[in-house]
Structure 1
């Protein structure tokens, strides 16, 4: 199974790499493995299914980082120690496909979006045509949000620290055009990368997620909150 991205950690201290894809699913249904199930549900007024030989065109495709969890501020003394405060969820990412017109499989829409942004590496025209045996989690509108990483992290230095998690979401508008002139339009959103990091409240931060975490948990007026 090809997972949706990997966990990437950043920090206001220094680069700390520890390793490591709309509020409702609409516009059709997909199987649990991310492949279309041939369902014909949707929010569009037309009950008919879209043709199978149409083409997608995408516009306004954007990626943005969203904070999903943040911990309370935790102080470490000289010599550092382990950060143990749990993260509290502030946002739950949910894949979504919204359509108007003849219905489309959400999995096929996300397959097209994945190819558009390079997340799905396939030469197949559609997900149904892909015979590689790969399961693309990116195409599954039922995929669960990544759990918050509450594992203890050890640091060497002293200070007030905040840990956070996030995801990189991707969204865009699409038009699906059939040879007979029928079209389906819509909007799709999902996430592709899991992010995480640590903020030293006593140091300035630049990353968007780090600034948001600092604003929520660092003491007002601390270096990390200035300009956040």
Structure 2
């Protein structure tokens, strides 16, 4: 099941934003802690400046975002008609267990760690420029439903995906305070045309085979076979 990549948009487009545990990062008066209509007079905790990020458990994973139903074409091929349906919407996620820098700053650090951002700047603010990987308002990649025209007979499926990057972080302040958390984002948006008659050769292709090709695929079906 060899796929043909039709597009590849590099470098960390992000979508929407899902942020939890960061409410204390912007400072305040502490009124929320007391509840509506009450004031404690105690300032809310804020994230420290000049802290240092340490990242661990960095992982990269291809995720299926859209797939079409299979479509049989006869000799000479032709235009595919079945559109892709969305099966997963990638969302950036930043969460922490205490006051932390802004989500954009955290994603900037993650991007540098993952090799998606090439910068010697210590922080996003110091960099003086922006990257799509740190844009928490970037919309999700659209599913490309352009009419593809294979030139040969086969049982065809279109599918799309992204590569997700995630890791755990620890942010250490100069005074010794630390905050831990987790961040996730996606980097590459790709689309593939594949033939269900071909053997799946990747984890993503096996998932497509199960969902769209009506194939029962073994977990290790792509492993080399003994002679």
- The aligned counterpart of 1:79 is 76
- The aligned counterpart of 2:53 is 56
Indicate yes or no: 2:101 matched with 1:96: no
**Preserved contact between residue 26 and residue 99 of structure 1 (Cα < 8 Å):** yes
- The aligned counterpart of 2:19 is 25
* Structure 1 residue corresponding to 2:186, chosen from 186, 191, 207: 191
* Structure 1 residue corresponding to 2:153, chosen from 146, 155, 158: 158
Matched residues in 2 for 1:19 and 1:188: separation? 23
- Unmatched tracts of structure 1, length 5 or more: 1-11, 30-37
Give the TM-score of the pair, scaled to structure 1: 0.80
Aligned-residue Cα RMSD (Å) equals 2.4
Change (3 A) 1:184 1:199: same
1:33-72 Cα distance to aligned partner (Å, 9 max, x none): xxxxx8459xxx9942221101000000100000000000
- Unmatched tracts of structure 2, length 5 or more: 34-42, 223-227
* Structure 1 residue corresponding to 2:130, chosen from 135, 144, 167: 135
Matched residues in 2 for 1:146 and 1:121: separation? 23
SS at match of 1:187: strand
Deviates more, 1:165-174 or 1:102-111: 102-111
* Structure 1 residue corresponding to 2:142, chosen from 144, 147, 152: 147
SS at match of 1:142: coil
- Mapping 1:148-227, distance limit 5 Å: 148-220=143-215, 225=217, 227=221
- The aligned counterpart of 2:38 is none
CA positional deviation for 1:207: 1.8
**Preserved contact between residue 94 and residue 181 of structure 2 (Cα < 8 Å):** yes
- The aligned counterpart of 1:7 is none
SS at match of 2:204: helix
**Preserved contact between residue 95 and residue 143 of structure 1 (Cα < 8 Å):** no
**Preserved contact between residue 172 and residue 189 of structure 1 (Cα < 8 Å):** yes
CA positional deviation for 1:123: 1.1
Matched residues in 2 for 1:40 and 1:138: separation? 25
**Preserved contact between residue 102 and residue 183 of structure 1 (Cα < 8 Å):** no
